[in-house]
A and B are shown apart, each in its own frame.
Chain A
Amino acid sequence: MATAEGVVLEARGITKTFGNHTALKGVDISLRRGEVHALLGENGAGKSTLIKILTGAYTPDAGVISLDGQPVSFATPQQAQALGIGTVYQEVNLLPNMTVSDNLFIGRQPSAFGLVNRSATDDLARKVLSQYGLDIDVRAELSTYSVAIQQIVAIARAVELSGKVLILDEPTASLDRHEVDKLFEIIRTLKSRGLAIVFITHFLDQVFELSDRVTVLRNGFRIGSEPVAALDRTGLVRMMLGKDLVHHHNGPVEGEPDGGDLLMSVRQLGLTGSVQPLDLDIRKGEVVGVAGLLGSGRTEMARLMFGIDVADSGALHIDGESRVVRSAREAVSLGFGFCPEDRKADGIFGDLSVRENIVIAMQARLGWFRALNRDEQLEIAGNFIEALDIRTASAELPVKLLSGGNQQKVILARWLATDPRFLILDEPTRGIDVGAHAEIVRMISRLREDGLALVVISSELDEIVSYSSRVVVMRDRALVAELHGADITPARIVQAIAGQGVEGAA
């Protein structure tokens, strides 16, 4: 931290709160000229919020940002851009329907008498892109090019407009190896030109390959900023997942490991471009923990099992039948339930009452005609509100007014009301307060004891270790390890995620 020299952008004590949720708590970050600075963290760690603050999309509640030593503040991305901070968002935020040169120069096209000089614009565009080793038809629509080229166009635009700091939000998420190499080459060139580059990714290899320094965020705190040379993979994963490997907490779940009756076998289930074919047995009365970093394919696996995405290889073997689940409805009729990762977008019906949110899956299963009357609904909702200790003033309150933890319990109640035999929970404890967190962890264990089969995806290793009967580890869209019994420790999981010294792979 001694080197103030070469610092282009510095942010100190950045804090941002949304409602009653604090997304960032006093985070510091400094970017130097000519460095690639990786920003790492799981979903909800605060990466996006930090980026949005640095690029002017959000204003921080507290903290100072200084650029070249001068304190600055910006209210819009345009202002940040004008001061030299350019961003390329994950889902390339350009205009696919317009030409490459339009995308580079919209609003700045050379023009005379109010008419745009197209050929001059195109020449400029070609000149700009040639710096990136790109020789393409700039008159073609952006969407006719691969994501990699779109990415480069976005980078070229951001650098053209800003030129001091370039923020790349998961630029490699949908590129193949060759394209990644090409992109890295460009990033290195820009680095040598003196730009400070922030690089957000969840591919650890790429962090080591490209970055000079790493800043890790977790739960809104900065865990640390280190030179990459001083870190190894395990150390990095440990920073991200917050695992103090010295302690060995509440060991693996006792009971009959691998002892319950087989509920279903997943055989070679996969979807091209999403999840590589994987095998998994799921038994009654066990929790299969799924560990893996963001983008490892953990959510995609859950979506395949629940029929949100339809597998193009393999099948589920259940009830003596082999089948591919083609819709959530089919999954529900098999007795499955799914608490999705993004509660707000895919889980809750915000304006509907707690009661309606709880009975909806059960009612969907019954069909529209066999309606539960209001008293039945109130009774079911009341039972679950009590059993899961859902804190709400009344069953008639719109669910959006509840806290995150209680919303999660409502979704859980929704599935429990259908009397399921198999539940998938994707990050059930994300973004909820400590008390509710512990309750949900206890609930998972209780459901297992009741004989339910559960698959629980989580970034919290402590949590996974505490309730899982078995842990499977996902990396690079494939299932890479299955840990049993005494092997279920945070240290082993971290090793498996980091891809070092894994034995007993599935």
Chain B
Amino acid sequence: MNPRYRPLAATTLIFIVAYGLCIAQYPAMWSTRVLGNFLTDNAFLGIAAVGATFVIISGGIDLSVGAVVGLAGVLSAVLITTLGLHPLAAFAIVLVVAASFGAGMGAAIHFLRVPPFIVTLAGMFMARGVASILTQDSIPIDHEFYRTISGLYYRLPGGGRLSAIGLLMLLVFLVGGLIAHKTRFGSYVYAIGGNQTSAALMGVPVGLTTIGIYALGSFLGGLAGIVYSLYTSSGYPLAAVGMELDAIAAVVIGGTLLTGGYGFIFGTLIGVMLQGLVQTYIVFDGTLSSWWTKIAIGLLLFMFILLQKLVFSAQGRRPRMQKAPA
């Protein structure tokens, strides 16, 4: 097996084993009901994490995702509840705003040549600030369309519900996978993450791609915000605080190299599911508290960063060792 798949294989294995152990302890966890809730409860995180995967594969980082989720939710709420727009029109506006926001960050990163973390940090402040100025409080969304969408689900055998937003997340993963592995844009993302100088020499449009990557990241952040507003039927400026860290953790646990160049959209799904599993386990257990989630995720994150370090530094050394004396 290609050693680069090891982190992904490890994640998959850990997920299966962990799920197996959970079921052994709480057989009730083996049901389509739990699985369905997995998808619904983590839909917004999953969608945002797909965007984060692209950003991280390109060697960047986006700390603004959580704030964009919050802003998108608030903006939806304002447009629908306060201004009385139809949700679909509101969604279109929100997505365009989010994508342009990301494009702006991408442009700053490329043209100012500053580390992405500082630019997206400014983006995070900006998005939270704008959201908080729009409203300080949670704005409820009470619209026919919202009720319809929230109520939509497909009944799985065994009584579980595959909700519309859960389905949307799976769709986003599917489309994300297609973009990453089946389009030129996708290959450019990997190329930039591999070696930006080489990529430029080989004719990859680095600037446009960078702008595109962050636009995509924020677009999906916006979509995640819409989903979050559907999930909670409201828009709140402080929604999803710190979610960018969960998204980054999901991406890394899913086998994507934090320094860029390698990664899998599918792996991120497992990363999200693994986080969901930890949460679900804690709920089932009842005695454990929710903070264990963060500790567990931090621990997993550390393990995977270390694993990548080992796998990739061993790899990196190989070609140099071939340099035999003449």
- State yes or no: do A and B touch (Cβ within 8 Å): yes
Q: Which residues of A contact B (CB under 8 A)?
A: 77-78, 81, 89, 93-98, 102-103, 106-107, 109, 111, 114-116, 118, 140-141, 143-144, 146-147, 150, 157, 174, 176-177, 203, 272-274, 276, 476-477
Give me 13 other A-B pairs in contact (C-beta within 8 A), A97-B261, A98-B191, A143-B319 excluded. Answer: A93-B198, A95-B202, A98-B190, A103-B202, A107-B204, A111-B184, A115-B183, A116-B186, A116-B187, A147-B323, A157-B202, A273-B320, A276-B325
- Known contacts A116-B183, A143-B319, A273-B325; is A94 also within 8 Å of B2 by CB? no
Contacts of A78 in B (CB 8 A): 203
Whether A273 lies near B324 (C-beta < 8 A) is yes
Q: Is B322 an interface residue (CB 8 A)?
A: yes
Q: Is B182 an interface residue (CB 8 A)?
A: yes
Contacts of A115 in B (CB 8 A): 178, 182-183
Q: Give the top 7 A-B pairs by smallest Cβ distance, nearest first.
A: A97-B194, A97-B261, A95-B194, A273-B323, A174-B323, A93-B198, A115-B182
| Docked complex Cα distance between A150 and B184 (Å) | 22
| A109 → B minimal CB distance (Å) | 6
| A292 → B minimal CB distance (Å) | 13
Whether A102 lies near B2 (C-beta < 8 A) is no
Q: Is B193 an interface residue (CB 8 A)?
A: yes
Cross-chain contact of A95 among B184, B186, B190, B323 (Cβ < 8 A): B190
Whether B326 lies near A177 (C-beta < 8 A) is yes
Q: Is B83 an interface residue (CB 8 A)?
A: no
Contacts of B184 in A (CB 8 A): 106-107, 109, 111, 116
Whether B204 lies near A273 (C-beta < 8 A) is no
- Known contacts A97-B190, A98-B191; is A174 also within 8 Å of B199 by CB? no
| Docked complex Cα distance between A472 and B195 (Å) | 40
Whether A118 lies near B194 (C-beta < 8 A) is no
Whether B322 lies near A109 (C-beta < 8 A) is no
Cross-chain contact of A97 among B203, B204, B262, B321 (Cβ < 8 A): B262
Whether B194 lies near A106 (C-beta < 8 A) is no
Whether A95 lies near B319 (C-beta < 8 A) is no
| Docked complex Cα distance between A114 and B261 (Å) | 22
Contacts of B320 in A (CB 8 A): 174, 273
Q: Mark B214-254, 1 if CB is under 8 A from A, else 0.
A: 00000000000000000000000000000000000000000
Contacts of B319 in A (CB 8 A): 143, 146-147, 150, 174
Closest to A173 in B: B323
Q: B268-326: which residues lie under 8 A (CB-CB) from chain A?
A: 315, 319-326
Whether A118 lies near B182 (C-beta < 8 A) is yes
Q: Is B136 an interface residue (CB 8 A)?
A: no
| A99 → B minimal CB distance (Å) | 9
Cross-chain contact of A144 among B2, B182, B195, B262 (Cβ < 8 A): B2
Q: Is B31 an interface residue (CB 8 A)?
A: no
For B, the interface residue count at a CB cutoff of 8 angstroms equals: 32
Closest to A142 in B: B194
Q: Which residues of B contact A (CB under 8 A)?
A: 2, 4, 178, 182-184, 186-188, 190-191, 193-195, 197-199, 201-204, 261-262, 315, 319-326
Contacts of B326 in A (CB 8 A): 176-177, 203, 476-477
Contacts of B197 in A (CB 8 A): 93
Whether B323 lies near A141 (C-beta < 8 A) is no
Contacts of A97 in B (CB 8 A): 190, 193-195, 261-262
Main secondary structure, interface of B, reads helix
Contacts of A276 in B (CB 8 A): 325
| Docked complex Cα distance between A256 and B251 (Å) | 68
Contacts of B322 in A (CB 8 A): 146-147, 174, 176
| B184 → A minimal CB distance (Å) | 6
Whether B204 lies near A143 (C-beta < 8 A) is no
| Docked complex Cα distance between A413 and B60 (Å) | 42
Contacts of A93 in B (CB 8 A): 195, 197-198, 201-202
Whether A106 lies near B202 (C-beta < 8 A) is yes
Closest to A82 in B: B203
Whether B187 lies near A106 (C-beta < 8 A) is yes
> Which of A107, A109, A147 has the largest count of B CB atoms less than 10 A from its CB?
A107
| Docked complex Cα distance between A273 and B187 (Å) | 35
Whether A477 lies near B202 (C-beta < 8 A) is no
| Docked complex Cα distance between A109 and B136 (Å) | 50
Contacts of A94 in B (CB 8 A): 198, 202
Whether B325 lies near A477 (C-beta < 8 A) is yes
| B111 → A minimal CB distance (Å) | 17
Cross-chain contact of A77 among B182, B201, B204, B321 (Cβ < 8 A): B201
Whether A95 lies near B199 (C-beta < 8 A) is yes
Whether A96 lies near B187 (C-beta < 8 A) is no
Cross-chain contact of A107 among B2, B190, B203 (Cβ < 8 A): B203
| A61 → B minimal CB distance (Å) | 23
> Which of A89, A106, A476 has the largest count of B CB atoms less than 10 A from its CB?
A106
| A120 → B minimal CB distance (Å) | 12
Whether B191 lies near A95 (C-beta < 8 A) is yes
| Docked complex Cα distance between A460 and B15 (Å) | 64
| Docked complex Cα distance between A115 and B183 (Å) | 5
| Docked complex Cα distance between A78 and B200 (Å) | 9
> Which of B2, B193, B194 has the largest count of A CB atoms less than 10 A from its CB?
B194
| A169 → B minimal CB distance (Å) | 13
| Docked complex Cα distance between A477 and B203 (Å) | 37
- Known contacts A146-B322, A273-B323, A476-B326; is A106 also within 8 Å of B183 by CB? no
Contacts of A95 in B (CB 8 A): 190-191, 194-195, 198-199, 202, 261
- Known contacts A93-B198, A106-B204, A107-B204; is A98 also within 8 Å of B323 by CB? no
| Docked complex Cα distance between A191 and B278 (Å) | 62
Whether A109 lies near B187 (C-beta < 8 A) is yes
Closest to B326 in A: A476
> Which of B2, B184, B202, B322 has the largest count of A CB atoms less than 10 A from its CB?
B202
Q: Can you list 24 A-B contacts with CB-CB less than 8 angstroms, sorted by A residue number?
A: A81-B203, A93-B197, A95-B195, A95-B198, A96-B195, A98-B194, A102-B187, A106-B184, A106-B188, A107-B203, A109-B187, A115-B182, A116-B182, A116-B183, A116-B187, A118-B182, A140-B2, A143-B315, A146-B319, A146-B322, A150-B319, A174-B319, A274-B323, A477-B325
Closest to B199 in A: A95
Contacts of B194 in A (CB 8 A): 95-98
> Which of B199, B325, B326 has the largest count of A CB atoms less than 10 A from its CB?
B326
| Docked complex Cα distance between A146 and B322 (Å) | 8
Contacts of B187 in A (CB 8 A): 98, 102, 106-107, 109, 116
Closest to A271 in B: B325
| Docked complex Cα distance between A177 and B188 (Å) | 35
Contacts of A150 in B (CB 8 A): 319
Contacts of B261 in A (CB 8 A): 95, 97
| Docked complex Cα distance between A144 and B4 (Å) | 10
Closest to A177 in B: B326
| Docked complex Cα distance between A114 and B178 (Å) | 10
Cross-chain contact of A141 among B2, B183, B188, B191 (Cβ < 8 A): B2
| Docked complex Cα distance between A140 and B320 (Å) | 19
